[in-house]
Chain A
Amino acid sequence: MSTPARRRLRALLDRPGPFAAPGVCDGLTARCALEAGAECLYMTGFGVAGSLLGQPDLGLVTVTEMADRVRALAAVAGDVPLIADGDNGHGGPLNAMRLTRLYEQAGAACVHIEDQAFPKRCGHMESKVTVPLEDALANLRAVLRARTDPDFLVMARTDTRATVDLDEALRRGDAFLEAGADILFIEAPRSEDEMRVIAERFRGVPLLANMVEAGKTPYLDVATLGEMGFKVVIFPISGVLVGLYHMRRAYARLLQEGRLPEDEPHLTFADYNALIGLPQALESAEACGGPAGPATSASRTPRAR
């Protein structure tokens, strides 16, 4: 039941030093991150809400839509592990169990689950609501109980630094670890001091740092975070923010000038095909004995008479 991707994630966690997991939300972002050499990918719920629905991260994406995304991303990622955003489990313990089964079957290497109330919102937004610790533990225990592959890792996240204070967040971290969480995610610390306190308190435990551009947490690089004591560093929306910056401009210029101007930097068609894996796909089809097209000869373009 274990997968090469899950074994790789364990190896990354065991290897000394931090590693980056860039955020992805669809096949295209995943391809870009993999091409750039990412050792691990992170499926961001924030990104999925934008990519799939064009909506803010406000708990609108359903669990089955998220699981379908996991499936698509894990298929593209292959042996590169995917850490997937499980929100708050999408309800109570039964819902959290269902989410876990769906994500594990879909091929994620790790899921994270948080203590926000349903419907949740992005961790760096205002007005979050968190649930009592017992409810959060019930969902976490449900996730741990539902997994069938011990290599499918479970990360516990707490949003209580914002709704209560750092002490509560640390307390919950202890409780989540005791319950059996493999990795801890203390969301949205507000200063480097807070980050150092977190790293010190949980020395020896795999910790995630969440780097959101202009978010609530100081924006540091992977090496610095590694020195502090963090292991996994996610950049959930960096790719999307950069991509959209350019895409908006492309659409605006296209509509303004009636075509994409020549001086607008873009991939060539050949670049795209290489990125998206077209040569390999065609090769696979040919190797099976036929072209990657319609099966019946009757539907092929007839030779000129």
Chain B
Amino acid sequence: MRKTTQFRRLIDAPDILRMPGVHDALSARVAAEAGFQAITMGGFAATGSLLGEPDSSQLSLTELADHYARICDAVDVPVFADGDTGFGNVTNVRRTVRLLERAGVGGLFIEDQMFPKRCGHTPGKAVVPVEEMVGKVKAAVDARTDPDLVIMARTDAIAVNGLDDAIERANLYREAGADLLFVEAPPDVEAMRRILREAPGPHLANMVEFGMSPELTGGELQDIGYATVVWPVSSVLAVVKALRGLYGQLRNEDTTRNAHDRMVSFEEYTTLVGLPGLRAREQSYLDAARRLVGDRQAPKKESAA
């Protein structure tokens, strides 16, 4: 089954789809190993991982698409991609969708922030006029060649224009063809319920640690009515903490020999990245090649003798 079809079915299924955030191929493998049915990577995590920079539209479309392609190759589960603001106007949006689709993502989203954007849970956001975003959503939907590619529209309008405007935008984006909706940073559960009531359709909940929305469980969000939930910044926050601990200990003790409890074993690591399977596959090719060559040469030897 195509990843896009898989992803669409997961969104449509009655259970809420839980998607942990990753930031590279390695973290993607860990998330898939933990049993999640789909994963996501947002611009916040990608920009941190690739550039060590804040979430500010710094990554180009092509480097983002390359990064997603590698992650999609590393795992079997669908990957949900962050298309930022679409990287320009409707013409750029078309390129964005095409490149991300080709990278192998199960779905992607674009948002109505002005370019260059900033993280949705930080102050100082601005949104584009609603017509502009409606045009971009239509362009995104038209650009896909795989009809199962899920296109989500995100609005950051709550912080800029208030909840009424955000709900109005969500409805317009749905009408423009968005499969999934994301109203960013609702301040409380009451706002969440209102959004889901007044903007019919499947919605995504964004769980950001230390962010502007209450941190609820997948189960609680399912009860409210969300179709899917993401935790997009968890992996980079966790990794930074873990690495600080490690590097700090290394600085203090001048060795990592007492830090093994912070780590997986070498064997656990190589298993995670698929070394046993890779070696087995290599060996099977060598064996098959040997057999094939042996079979062809054997009759000749018999006739010579």
Contact = CB atoms under 8 A, between A and B. Distances in A.
Nearest to A63: B60
B115 A91 contact: yes
Contacts of B62: 62, 64-65
B30 to A, nearest CB: 27
B58 A60 contact: no
Interface string A79-92: 00000000000111
Interface string A51-83: 000000011101111000000000000000000
B95 interface: yes
Contacts of A64: 60, 62-63
A65 B115 CA distance: 19
B92 A94 contact: no
Nearest to A58: B91
Given A118-B88, A119-B91, A62 B116 contact: no
A98 B56 CA distance: 12
Interface string A107-120: 00000000000110
B88 A119 contact: yes
A105 interface: no
Contact of A92 (B88, B95, B116): B116
B87 to A, nearest CB: 7
B60 A59 contact: no
Nearest to B91: A58
A238 interface: no
A92 B114 CA distance: 11
Interface size class of B (residues with CB under 8 A): 10 to 19
A95 B58 contact: yes
Given A60-B95, A65-B62, A91 B57 contact: yes
Interface residues of A, number: 15
B116 A91 contact: yes
B54 to A, nearest CB: 9
Contacts of B57: 91, 95
B256 interface: no
A95 B116 contact: yes
A94 B56 contact: yes
Contacts of A59: 88-89, 91-92
B212 to A, nearest CB: 23
A60 B61 CA distance: 10
A57 to B, nearest CB: 12
A239 B91 CA distance: 27
- 6 closest A-B pairs (Cβ-Cβ)? A62-B60, A119-B88, A64-B60, A91-B116, A62-B62, A92-B116
Interface of B: 56-58, 60-63, 87-89, 91-92, 95, 115-116
Given A94-B116, A98-B58, 20 more contacts: A59-B88, A59-B89, A59-B91, A60-B88, A62-B60, A63-B60, A64-B62, A64-B63, A90-B60, A92-B116, A94-B56, A95-B57, A95-B58, A95-B116, A118-B88, A118-B115, A119-B88, A119-B89, A119-B91, A119-B92
20 contacts: A59-B89, A59-B91, A59-B92, A60-B88, A60-B95, A62-B60, A64-B60, A64-B62, A90-B60, A91-B57, A91-B115, A94-B56, A94-B58, A95-B58, A95-B116, A118-B88, A118-B115, A119-B88, A119-B89, A119-B91
